[in-house]
Amino acid sequence: MGAGRLVITLSVLLLASLGVNVVLYRFSTRTYDQLFEVRLDPNGMNGLDWWTTPAPRVAGGPWRIVMFGDSRAQMWPAP
């Protein structure tokens, strides 16, 4: 009867280990994806609809300059 109990205990431990490994694998892939989303879009501009919403036009106001190509342009201080 001792061998049967040992097999059951080892089977339960194996299933628990597999379950924990699946949870940790999913957590690590989600963390990896989030890390590279931040690296590819440091200013969070992909989540905004700034390219489809027209900017409000101020009559007689200053010219508006739009710079494309540099994701760090948003980090520049305002003049």
pLDDT in tens, 21-42: 999 999 999 999 888 776 666 6
**Of how many residues is the chain composed?**
79
| Residue in the structure block whose two tokens are 């390219």 | 51
Instruction: Give the Cα separation of 23 and 40 in Å (integer).
Output: 26
pLDDT band at 59 (very low <50, low <70, confident <90, very high): confident
Percentage of residues of the chain with pLDDT beyond 70? 56
- 28: its two tokens: 């690590």
Instruction: Give the Cα separation of 65 and 68 in Å (integer).
Output: 10
